Structure 1
Amino acid sequence: MIVREFTWFTLIFTLRGSVLRKIGLRLAVDVAVAVGVTLLFYYKILTVSITPLPFTLIGLALGIFLGFRNNTSYDRFWEGRKLWGALVNTTRSFARQMQTLLGPQPGRESPAESESHDKLAEARREMTYRCIAYVHAFRMHLRDQWQPEELAELLPAEELEALASEHNRPIAMLLRMGERTRALWAAGWVNAYHMGQIEQTLGKLTDIQGACERIKSTPIPFSYTVLIHRLVGFYCFALPFGIVDTVRLMTPVVVALISFAFFGLDAIGDEIEQPFGVEDNDLPLSALSRMIEVNLRQTLREPHESLPPLLTPDEHGYLS
């Protein structure tokens, strides 16, 4: 995602994050067609033109279609961002629960009463690290990636090997977190009421993941996307024939401006339809994952110098 602030002047000439790089070829071909039509009309080789009225009516309808499609795409983008905002809050709640609910239970023989304080700290650390590992695995899952080396310091090696064969690794990790919570309850580290609260938090993580998977696996209907692409292409490439008799030598300029608008809106809708990728305008899942990791490790009171740095935008303002 491009997050750096730009001035009005620099925005005009910025290429990183702009759709110009995606539509440049088709725009150049369209302008070349417009130049050819203009020359043919200027030298009276082409003497028949189309009235501009159909292009006015089609352009109006096409603008409405593109607006609806882009609104739908942005709704998906914004819903994805809200879901990751909910993920941030839910993981913070889980880490807090590990600090406040995990420990000696009155009326029960608890290992914390007979074993060292380090044992309790290790249990809290394990569960918090499992939550951090889940966040990173969830981000990889949405981006169709698997980089187990990122989880090497968070999970036991045998678990990482077992996860490699799982179809849905984040769900498998949530299951393991639930099993470990039950083991802590059976050992007397968590009471039954608090176990229910922790299970509710794990359930919220499952709901968030399911909603993100719904966005990822259910694109805008293909027939609608194809119709928009075809209409935009037909309109932009036929436009020179409709305006050459009116604007004459300015036809390539007018076609370039109008086609840039229509091709650009079409490309923007395509790009933000799937918000979990790694393109310039997709959500910064890596930065959000790193922020969650730092927040959760701070609940363990780890030294500041041992924490990984937060991700910052590069020189182009891109945050991955």
Structure 2
Amino acid sequence: MIAYNPKDWFTFVFRFHKADTLRKLAPLILGISAYCAIIAYLELEIFQLSQNNHLKNISMMNNLLSFVISMLLVFRTNTAYDRWWEGRKLWGSLVNNSRNLSIKLNAILGPTEDEEKKFFRRIIPMYAAVLSRHLQTEQTRLALDTAEHPEWEHLDKNKHMPNQIASLMYKRVTRLYEQGRIKGDQLIVINAELQAFTDVCGACERIKNTPIPFSYSVFLKKFIFFYVMTLPLSFVFSLGYIAIPVVAFIFYVLASLEMIAEEIEDPFGADENDLPTEKMSDNIKKHVSEIFAS
């Protein structure tokens, strides 16, 4: 995710970054400009249609379509941003759940450092790291540290990794309960925190695996394309060759809104505007280690 100062207008206007839509749309903008130049030359120089009132009425159609397309784009961008913001709230919940579980287990297990506390110090932040990779790739890749972890050798990387990590945590908590180190009322409290991990994972998967309906996305792209294709037919009469940069700019604005919506509707990808889940995973690891060290 790009960190920036929202009050720095000058930098926003004149700075081009990797995710800037102008870079990605440059070939299409040049193509639209060439198309508009051809239409302007044919209308003004070859066919001399500047006095044709029937073609001038196309501007009325463009005015009506401009209202419709603006409503569609507003709905599109709002829906995409809602998905991005929901993903951010879910990962905020994961951060809090990791802290709460660590605080409770650290208090219950006591101040003495033992194998159980070492296990939870490693496994709790491991869930966030695994979930981050799970949401970014089709197959989860578990990156372990250089230490030996024999309790994880039986994990199947071809299966749902977050579920396996959550199962390990719950099994260890159950064993502590059977050993008498965790009381019944404490188990109920810890169970709520453990359940929250899976709830966050399921909600994130719902966002990732349920994109905007295909028909809607395709229709909006076609609508933008054909709308821009008809603009030169009316703009040339009133603007002449100035219609070339005007149409190109309109296409840039409309297509950029669609591209921005496409990028943020999946907040768990690797784009610059996606959520920094790996950074949040590192922060969880840092905070959990601090809690268990106290």
Please report the TM-score for the alignment, with normalisation by the length of structure 1: 0.84
Moved over 4 A (4+): none
**Secondary structure of the structure 2 residue equivalent to 1:3:** coil
For 1:129, give the aligned amino acid.
R
- Alignment length, in residue pairs? 286
Equivalent residue for 1:294, pick from 270, 286, 294: 286
| Partner Cα separation in structure 1 for residue 217 and residue 176 of structure 2 | 51
1:206 aligned partner: 198
Equivalent residue for 1:38, pick from 13, 20, 40: 40
Q: How does 1:300-319 map to 2 (within 5 A)?
A: 300-301=292-293
Equivalent residue for 1:59, pick from 40, 57, 66: 66
2:2 aligned partner: 2
For 1:86, give the aligned amino acid.
S
CA positional deviation for 1:155: 7.2
1:131 aligned partner: 124
Please tell me whether residue 13 in structure 1 is matched to residue 5 in structure 2. no
Instruction: Output one character per residue of 1:281-311: Cα deviation in whole Å (capped at 9) or x when no partner.
Output: 1111111111111111111228xxxxxxxxx
For 1:250, give the aligned amino acid.
I
Equivalent residue for 2:136, pick from 143, 146, 159: 143
| Partner Cα separation in structure 2 for residue 19 and residue 273 of structure 1 | 16
1:191 aligned partner: 183
Equivalent residue for 2:277, pick from 282, 285, 308: 285
Percent of aligned pairs with the same amino acid = 31
| Partner Cα separation in structure 1 for residue 48 and residue 225 of structure 2 | 22
2:89 aligned partner: 82
For 2:63, give the aligned amino acid.
T
**Secondary structure of the structure 2 residue equivalent to 1:43:** helix
CA positional deviation for 1:84: 0.7
Question: Using a 3 Å threshold, how does the CA distance of structure 1 residues 153 and 44 change in structure 2: closer, same or farther?
Answer: same
| Partner Cα separation in structure 1 for residue 182 and residue 110 of structure 2 | 7
| Partner Cα separation in structure 2 for residue 11 and residue 66 of structure 1 | 22
Question: Using a 3 Å threshold, how does the CA distance of structure 1 residues 102 and 46 change in structure 2: closer, same or farther?
Answer: farther
Please tell me whether residue 218 in structure 1 is matched to residue 210 in structure 2. yes
CA positional deviation for 1:52: 0.8
1:29 aligned partner: 31
Instruction: Output one character per residue of 1:150-196: Cα deviation in whole Å (capped at 9) or x when no partner.
Output: 32357715625623132x10011101110011111112221111111
Q: Is the 8 A contact 2:83 2:207 kept in 1?
A: yes
Q: Is the 8 A contact 1:76 1:273 kept in 2?
A: yes
**Secondary structure of the structure 2 residue equivalent to 1:162:** coil
Q: Is the 8 A contact 1:98 1:128 kept in 2?
A: no
Question: Using a 3 Å threshold, how does the CA distance of structure 1 residues 46 and 215 change in structure 2: closer, same or farther?
Answer: farther
Equivalent residue for 1:249, pick from 237, 241, 256: 241
Please tell me whether residue 164 in structure 1 is matched to residue 167 in structure 2. no
For 1:280, give the aligned amino acid.
E
| Partner Cα separation in structure 2 for residue 91 and residue 155 of structure 1 | 23
| Partner Cα separation in structure 2 for residue 182 and residue 161 of structure 1 | 19
| Partner Cα separation in structure 1 for residue 91 and residue 253 of structure 2 | 31
Please tell me whether residue 96 in structure 1 is matched to residue 90 in structure 2. no
Q: Is the 8 A contact 2:268 2:274 kept in 1?
A: yes
For 1:260, give the aligned amino acid.
Y
| Partner Cα separation in structure 2 for residue 251 and residue 160 of structure 1 | 66
**Secondary structure of the structure 1 residue equivalent to 2:212:** coil
Structure 2 residues without counterparts, runs of 5 or longer: none
RMSD: 2.0
Q: Is the 8 A contact 2:140 2:161 kept in 1?
A: no
| Partner Cα separation in structure 1 for residue 31 and residue 196 of structure 2 | 50
| Partner Cα separation in structure 2 for residue 154 and residue 184 of structure 1 | 24
Equivalent residue for 2:266, pick from 274, 280, 289: 274
**Secondary structure of the structure 2 residue equivalent to 1:65:** helix
As a proportion of its length, which structure holds more helix? 2
| Partner Cα separation in structure 2 for residue 53 and residue 13 of structure 1 | 35
Question: Using a 3 Å threshold, how does the CA distance of structure 1 residues 270 and 174 change in structure 2: closer, same or farther?
Answer: same
The farther-off stretch of 19-28 and 124-133 is 19-28
**Secondary structure of the structure 2 residue equivalent to 1:2:** coil
| Partner Cα separation in structure 2 for residue 298 and residue 153 of structure 1 | 20
Q: Is the 8 A contact 1:127 1:177 kept in 2?
A: yes
| Partner Cα separation in structure 2 for residue 24 and residue 186 of structure 1 | 65
